[in-house]
Amino acid sequence: MTEATHQITSNNAVNRRPGSVGWKIGTDVRVVNDDWQDVAEQTDGNIIIKGPNVHTGYLHSPVANAESFRDGWFNTGDRGFSDSDGSLTITGRTKEIINRGGEKIAPLEVDNILARDGRIAEAIAFAIPHKSLGEDIAVAVVPAEEQDLTVDDIRSQLASNLAPHKVPRTVIFLKEIPKGPTGKIQRLKLADILGFVGDSATTPIFKSVDGN
């Protein structure tokens, strides 16, 4: 990341772990809870870093600095977990975590499962408003060429790999997922872009749209 100019961890020729971003390189790395206390191995938490390569603060941003720094440690805004050998796996961005009635869901976990499905060209999970839960999880899917997917196809694939509360009740089929000016998917804006504004239904929503 830019704030660490720029490398923090890496896999290498001797140690490689698929799905992991590897081991720390010259930068101290910890995984902590919201109170900045270390969590156990294999436990999801906030990734914080410390080292001579890490910036010392944002210019003219006292609020951001107060939230991001503590005792010399910098909160990267990423979430993840560490294995017993110190390798680090990123599970998502803190701001992107979906709070479904108190149950936390990392949308990247959903993305990664659908990315392995050859029937899908592109897919992204995102939060939508929900009247009683606060937030619920939805997924937008672009089928691969000549693939005629159904809502049941998507939900079954996810249900076989995820806990029930992580399986989206809202499935949207698109020709293309909207992207920002830089070509990146704007996960945090998708609910607004796709029309999920105001009060959302408390019953499952299964819909397919043409991408317009």
Same domain flag for 60 and 115? no
DSSP string, 185-204: B-GGGHHHHTT--SS--SS-
What values do phi and psi take at 88, rounded to 5?
-115, 135
Q: How far apart are CA 116 and CA 37, in angstroms?
A: 34
Q: How far apart are CA 156 and CA 162, in angstroms?
A: 10
Instruction: Identify the domain boundary among 74, 95, 116.
Output: 95
Beta-strand runs (E) in the chain? 9-10, 23-24, 28-32, 45-50, 69-70, 73-82, 88-93, 98-100, 103-105, 120-130, 134-143, 170-173, 206-208
Same domain flag for 167 and 91? no
Same domain flag for 184 and 116? yes
189: left (phi over 0), alpha (psi -120 to 50) or beta: alpha
pLDDT at position 208 is 45
* Residue 43 structural domain: 2-95
pLDDT at position 75 is 97
Same domain flag for 31 and 116? no
Which CATH number characterizes residue 84's domain?
2.30.38.10
Same domain flag for 50 and 139? no
Same domain flag for 101 and 78? no
Same domain flag for 72 and 108? no
Same domain flag for 48 and 137? no
Instruction: Identify the domain boundary among 60, 95, 130.
Output: 95
CA 74 to each of CA 15, 52, 66: distance values in angstroms, whole numbers, following the listed order: 26, 12, 10
- In the three-class reduction of DSSP (H, G, I as helix; E, B as strand; rest coil), residue 155 is classed as helix
Same domain flag for 148 and 71? no
Q: How many helices (H) and strands (E) does the chain have?
A: 4, 13
Instruction: Identify the domain boundary among 71, 95, 119.
Output: 95
pLDDT at position 198 is 53
147-198 pLDDT, tens digit each: 999 999 999 999 999 999 999 999 999 999 988 888 888 899 999 988 886 5
Same domain flag for 87 and 123? no
User: Which residues of the chain register pLDDT less than 50?
Assistant: 199-206, 208-212
Q: Let me know: does 105 contact 98? Beta carbons within 8 Å.
A: yes
Same domain flag for 153 and 167? yes
Which CATH number characterizes residue 150's domain?
3.30.300.30
Same domain flag for 133 and 152? yes
- Count the domains in the chain: 2
